[in-house]
Structure 1
Amino acid sequence: MATQRPSNGRAGPPAGPRRMTVLQATFIGVGSMVGAGIFALLGSAGAVAGAAVWLSFLIAGLIAALQGYSFAKLGSTYPSGGGILTYLSKGFGEGHVTAIGAWLFYTAGSIVTAMVAASFGGYTSEAFAGDSPAWATVFSVLLVVVMTGLNAVGSQAVARVQSVIVKVVLAILSVFAVVTIANADWGLLSFSGYPGLQQIIASVALTFFAFLGFGVVTFTARDLPDPRRQLPRALYLAVGIATAIYVAVSLGVFGTLTAEQVVEYGETAIAEAAKPVLGDFGFTLIVVTAIFSTMGAVNAGLYPSIGMTQHLASIGLFPTVFSRSAGRVPVGLLVMAGLTIIQLFLLDLNAIASLGSAVALIVFSAVTIAHFRVRRETGANLPVLIVALATTVVTFVVFCTTTLVQQPRTAIALVLIIALAAVLDLAWTGVRARRQRASA
């Protein structure tokens, strides 16, 4: 059933019980951010910024906070299960720009979720099945199925499970950070060994990848009792917690290992950094953390698909089937899960690992541009919005000139997914026009 919009033109949150707390909404964002990214990023960021990676995370966190300000103002004015895609429609109208952005966000979201699920499969297989590729795929698919079932049960179940997962991850990473920083060799973190500002800025484009999930918090508006007040709090808390964890973990790792060792160890750098103080137990503990964090990221990755597709179907930008359910499973969630599983079998996800970064930066920039058009309604500060847009665009340009240049498959995939989004929009627009003519 389509959600009616109030007469003032603002899309209010749908009726019904909303029992998600600010902390639970925060944990959905934190769980989406603190996924496989922190494990995969340290090596690649270290190759560019050396021991100054903690500074790159801090700058990336500030950029995310600027975007968070924009999202918070929009979310408190237009609380909706459609999240940031509602904000696009408010700024650009319910036309092609919003529709293409929506299809782009939805399809890219399934790819990113598949990437995280594949990471979960790899870690779980290594821990329990001797690093078997076949078992890794089985574990990945099983996780997607389980998390789809959890999301179908309802947002309260999602929030409770996500809270448990995030608390475990934050607890272990906090212990890791405290122990490693207390025993750090501060000579390894000396400013004299840092590269130039250009290299540090270049690494920000990589570390910003770890913050992309904060946009998921905007989709919790439909489940918050008072989204106008609570959504901004959840956004700021999520970005703040993630930034603190990233900075602390990177200080601990680069205060224990040399930058060359971090680059060499790659995804296992955190586990290797735990060994000098915690021994083999520390290595195992970090592997367990990786398993939990990827679980949380998949859960959070699937979560927006319900509110997003139902909202877009209600305003005519997505096919009406997305407003329905197959049994107890909303169609939008079912399609997202299906796309994710298919990609686990068909795509070389490592070859397009940075696709999510590119798409998110494009969508975030578009949302901020849309915000300029409704700024009088939201009451947002113009200079802050300008800085938010400028930093995001600069990050995207640096990302294109560094990461995408070195990953041609990702660049090709980005072009293809934008083209696919445009084709899907044009196809549905044609179908909708024919139906309207037939019913006239």
Structure 2
Amino acid sequence: MLLAVFVGFVAVTLSQLDPTLLAPSGYPPWEKIVASIALTFFAYLGFSVVTFTAGSLPNPARMLPQAMYLALGITTALYVLVSLGVFGTLTVDEVIMHGDTALAEAARPVLGTTGFVIMAIAALLATASSVNSMIFAAGNLTLTLSELKQFPPVFGQPGHFGGTRGIPITVVLVLIFANVFDLGAIASIGSAVALVVFLVVGLAALRLRAETGSNAWLITITMLATCFVLVLFAIDTARNAPQTFTAMTVLVLLAVVLDFVWKRVRARAPDTAR
């Protein structure tokens, strides 16, 4: 249903597209364009959730790559078309002014208030489905990390309403972040974390390439591109959103400290960490 709504949005906005709004003369500097790619990484982070379904697939070796490539292909095409529809209908200043409701505002000139409401509801439903998938992933992820002793065992213990206690703990932390930080700051922090996660995954893929049959050159190029985007994103955030950059730095340091403390606790009481 959501896919149909966004396809309809693309059709409506592209039919009213103003090519002059997409002129390269209005583009920001290339450094900002590259830095903004970090937010795209964050948008695509949800696709890692697909891998958690591998155990439920009849033939994961064949079906999982197909599902990933198909989902990424469809979503990339949709993102590009939606972006063309928005920036071909609204000016950059209007997009910035309307912020989170830019998609709904882009539909207003053609569909009126009804179009605005439809796109707003679609955005809410898309957000809800994303949250649901992330909670699903959090349960499996925290369980796995607790079994590997990377997280305290409480994350893997059975919850009162099914699943593990890692799920409500994750939900509470998400609610705290959502109410303490601005949505833009959360997206920036999530983007930085996503880039770091991708770098770590790439490093693991390099070390395990003999077992997985991965292409070392492809992984290396991807990691270099990720590092390049991360550096430019950090510089741009430090210049234009120093508070967000400070929050990112504090969270990284906090994660390092908590990991260090947990390892010390685990080393002193190995029996209780099982």
TM-score, normalised on structure 1?
0.57
Q: Distance in 1 between matches of 2:57 and 2:239?
A: 42
Deviation digits for residues 144-182 of structure 1, max 9, x if unmatched?
xxxxxxxxxxxxxxxxxxxxxxxx222111100011112
Deviation digits for residues 353-391 of structure 1, max 9, x if unmatched?
211001110111111012111111111112211211111
Change (3 A) 1:319 1:265: closer
Q: Distance in 2 between matches of 1:342 and 1:325?
A: 23
Q: Distance in 2 between matches of 1:234 and 1:405?
A: 39
| 8 Å CA contact 1:324, 1:331 repeated in 2 | yes
Match of 1:368 among 194, 202, 212: 202
Matching residue of 2:107: 274
Question: What is the aligned-residue identity percentage?
Answer: 43
Matched, 1:402 2:236: yes
Matching residue of 2:37: 204
Bigger Cα displacement from structure 2, 198-207 vs 384-393: 198-207
Deviation digits for residues 78-117 of structure 1, max 9, x if unmatched?
xxxxxxxxxxxxxxxxxxxxxxxxxxxxxxxxxxxxxxxx
Which of structures 1 and 2 has the larger relative contact order (alpha carbons within 8 angstroms, sep 6+)?
A: 1
Give SS of 1:316's match. Answer: coil
Give SS of 1:184's match. Answer: coil
Which runs of 5 or more structure 1 residues have no equivalent in the other structure? 1-167
Matching residue of 1:262: 95
Q: Distance in 1 between matches of 2:41 and 2:238?
A: 14
| 8 Å CA contact 1:351, 1:409 repeated in 2 | no
Match of 1:305 among 135, 138, 147: 138
* Aligned residue identity for 1:412: T
Q: Distance in 2 between matches of 1:418 and 1:190?
A: 39
Change (3 A) 1:423 1:206: closer
- 1:320 shift after superposition: 2.4
- 1:195 shift after superposition: 5.1
Matching residue of 1:323: 156
Matches within 5 A, 1:152-167: none
Q: Name the Cα RMSD after superposition.
A: 2.4
Change (3 A) 1:190 1:414: closer
Matches within 5 A, 1:337-352: 337-345=171-179, 347-350=180-183, 352=185
Matched, 1:230 2:63: yes
Give SS of 1:326's match. Answer: coil
- 1:417 shift after superposition: 2.0
Aligned pair count reads 271
- 1:210 shift after superposition: 2.4
- 1:267 shift after superposition: 2.1
Q: Distance in 1 between matches of 2:38 and 2:126?
A: 22
Matching residue of 1:152: none
Q: Distance in 2 between matches of 1:399 and 1:425?
A: 25
Q: Distance in 1 between matches of 2:184 and 2:259?
A: 27
Matched, 1:423 2:233: no
Matched, 1:184 2:22: no
TM-score, normalised on structure 2?
0.88
Q: Distance in 1 between matches of 2:148 and 2:96?
A: 48
Deviation digits for residues 54-76 of structure 1, max 9, x if unmatched?
xxxxxxxxxxxxxxxxxxxxxxx
| 8 Å CA contact 1:205, 1:398 repeated in 2 | no
* Aligned residue identity for 1:349: D
Change (3 A) 1:402 1:221: same
Give SS of 1:225's match. Answer: coil
- 1:256 shift after superposition: 1.6
* Aligned residue identity for 1:375: R
* Aligned residue identity for 2:141: M
Match of 1:293 among 101, 110, 126: 126
| 8 Å CA contact 1:222, 1:307 repeated in 2 | no
Q: Distance in 1 between matches of 2:208 and 2:41?
A: 27
Bigger Cα displacement from structure 2, 202-211 vs 191-200: 191-200
Q: Distance in 1 between matches of 2:171 and 2:30?
A: 41
Matched, 1:216 2:46: no
Change (3 A) 1:366 1:272: same
Give SS of 1:257's match. Answer: coil
* Aligned residue identity for 1:180: T
Matching residue of 2:269: 435
- 1:350 shift after superposition: 3.9
- 1:207 shift after superposition: 3.7
Deviation digits for residues 218-254 of structure 1, max 9, x if unmatched?
2232333332222222222222122111111111112
Q: Distance in 1 between matches of 2:145 and 2:181?
A: 30
Q: Distance in 2 between matches of 1:316 and 1:391?
A: 32
- 1:351 shift after superposition: 6.8
| 8 Å CA contact 2:31, 2:232 repeated in 1 | no
Matches within 5 A, 1:77-116: none
